[in-house]
Amino acid sequence: MAVTTRGSNIRASDHISEDRLWQRHMAMAKLGATPRGGVNRQALSAEDAQARKLLGSWAASRGYDVFTDPIGNLYVKRPGTDASAKPVLSGSHLDSQPTGGKFDGTYGVLAAFEALEALDDAGIKTKRPIVAVAWTNEEGNRFQPGCMGSGAFAGVYPLEQLLSGKDPQGTSVRDAFAELLKTAPARLEPRLGFPIDSYIEAHIEQGPILENTKNEIGIVTLIQGMRRFYIDVFGEEAHSGTTPLKLRKDALKSACSMVTALEPLMADPTDTVRYTVGRFEIYPGSPSTVPSKVHFLIDLRHPDIATLERLGDGIASICEAEAAKRGCTVKVTEYTTVAPMPMGAEAVALVRDSAKALGMKHIDIISGAGHDAMHVAKVAPAGMIFVPCWKGISHNETEDATAKDLANGARVLADALVSLANR
């Protein structure tokens, strides 16, 4: 049991409201709702602005301080009793994949906000402030790179480079953020990044382990590493009706053979390697013109740094060999490199203690997905709490989770936050 105020054993977790947390998810899910029951709420879009506005209105009704930073991370601060103490941070992201679900990211933001409300309802004061955060552009679909806001906060990427980045329509992060502020105004703190004591992120698991093992809580010990590459294949445009096959420099056929030729490198009897081509763009995209250019993306993940290095480093030579076979050329550009990131020992232990004290069935788990915690862990001890999701399905409109499981994770979170904020 977390001792919260002198002489009292009130638990923040007892004041988590399963219904309130669920209703907040359902309200958020309307913003960018898709016909198949998911959400399309891409980073810094009109829908993202609506979601931030809604969170801001809930925060205002509690009297919390709401502010944003130059990359658009949105913070909701509940004060502590020691104004000079570094805050404990908790949150995730409100942006989604184009065919995303209602819970990926949103859960971590709403669970953090629910924890703040539970503390208020319980009358618990903490020494440190607790700040709920919605990081900008975790998903990395509209704008690159993903985990942009948390990366900027942790000093991983230069701000100017991020603000100048453009979406496929040519809108910059800078302009999209300025537009978003018109709908969801928030006090702008010119500082990017501030000292924090610790960070805990709650998230749906996005995989099947908790459900299959009938565990209620996953205690994340490590987030596996990730490398992402732009592959640009250059051939030559030619008439599809007249140009003999032998004379073509077909960038599409070359790109397809690269995707296939990489399979043996990525083959893994333990099924630990994650190799994905999730975007494939063909130019000029005309039925009667041999493609002159293909742009595709490789996403590669592994928990072991040496394996991740070996596999990622092997990509360029295989692509070059395939390009040469068809008279094409290829440019391989790595644009995201994140080493496997262990979670902080103290944060992990506190989350485990909190789950144990609440009598919840829990296991240690490695995160296959990337999360903002992997950047925040560079500047403060960080931990993550996973809850089960239906069949482990995520990045899919059918993504689902139960109100009970979501509330259980919020309970573990609330007690862990109090422990961190009072030490």
Site for ligand GLV in 111-140 (CB under 6 A): 139
- Contact (Cβ atoms closer than 8 angstroms) between residue 157 and residue 151: yes
In the complex, minimum distance from the CB of residue 235 to ligand GLV, in angstroms, rounded to a whole number? 30
> In angstroms, what is the C-alpha Rg of the chain?
23
Residue whose Cβ sits closest to Mn ion = 105
Q: Which amino acid is at 169?
A: Q
**Residues paired with residue 216 on neighbouring β-strands, in sequence order:** none
Q: Which amino acid is at 172?
A: S
Q: Compare residues 67 and 280 and give the one whose CB is closer to ligand GLV.
A: 280
Among Mn ion, ligand GLV, none, the one that 355 touches (CB under a kind-dependent 5 to 8 A) is: none
In the complex, minimum distance from the CB of residue 196 to ligand GLV, in angstroms, rounded to a whole number? 22
Q: Compare residues 322 and 399 and give the one whose CB is closer to Mn ion.
A: 399
**Number of amino acids touching ligand GLV (CB under 6 A):** 3
Q: Compare residues 15 and 395 and give the one whose CB is closer to Mn ion.
A: 395
Q: Compare residues 71 and 186 and give the one whose CB is closer to ligand GLV.
A: 71
Q: Which amino acid is at 384?
A: M
Paired tokens of 218: 């996953």
Q: Strands of 225-234's sheet, edge to edge? A: 274-283, 293-302, 225-234, 329-338
Instruction: Name the site residues for Mn ion (rule: CB under 5 A).
Output: 104-105
Q: Report d(CA 295, CA 280) in Å as an integer.
A: 6
In the complex, minimum distance from the CB of residue 42 to ligand GLV, in angstroms, rounded to a whole number? 12
In the complex, minimum distance from the CB of residue 367 to Mn ion, in angstroms, rounded to a whole number? 10
Among Mn ion, ligand GLV, none, the one that 370 touches (CB under a kind-dependent 5 to 8 A) is: ligand GLV
Among ligand GLV, Mn ion, none, the one that 87 touches (CB under a kind-dependent 5 to 8 A) is: none
- Contact (Cβ atoms closer than 8 angstroms) between residue 354 and residue 362: no
In the complex, minimum distance from the CB of residue 345 to ligand GLV, in angstroms, rounded to a whole number? 23
Q: Report d(CA 314, CA 227) in Å as an integer.
A: 12
Paired tokens of 130: 């607790």
In the complex, minimum distance from the CB of residue 361 to ligand GLV, in angstroms, rounded to a whole number? 25
Coil vs helix vs strand at 342: strand
Binding mask 365-384 for ligand GLV (x = CB under 6 A): ----xx--------------
What ranges in 165-250 are assigned the alpha helix state H?
A: 173-183, 209-213
Q: Compare residues 94 and 118 and give the one whose CB is closer to Mn ion.
A: 94
Angle of helix 18-29 versus helix 46-61 axis, rounded to 10 = 150
Q: Report d(CA 233, CA 332) in Å as an integer.
A: 9
Q: Compare residues 228 and 253 and give the one whose CB is closer to ligand GLV.
A: 228
Torsion of CA 201, 207, 213, 216, to 10 degrees: 30
Angle of helix 106-122 versus helix 403-421 axis, rounded to 10 = 60
Q: Compare residues 4 and 367 and give the one whose CB is closer to ligand GLV.
A: 367
Instruction: Give the closest residue to 89 by CA, choosing from 72, 113, 69.
Output: 113
In the complex, minimum distance from the CB of residue 215 to Mn ion, in angstroms, rounded to a whole number? 20
Q: Compare residues 369 and 377 and give the one whose CB is closer to ligand GLV.
A: 369
Paired tokens of 328: 């094409």
In the complex, minimum distance from the CB of residue 271 to ligand GLV, in angstroms, rounded to a whole number? 17
Q: Compare residues 59 and 226 and give the one whose CB is closer to ligand GLV.
A: 226
Q: Report d(CA 78, CA 63) in Å as an integer.
A: 9
In the complex, minimum distance from the CB of residue 105 to ligand GLV, in angstroms, rounded to a whole number? 8
Binding mask 331-370 for ligand GLV (x = CB under 6 A): --------------------------------------xx
Q: Where on the chain is the footprint of ligand GLV (CB under 6 A)?
A: 139, 369-370
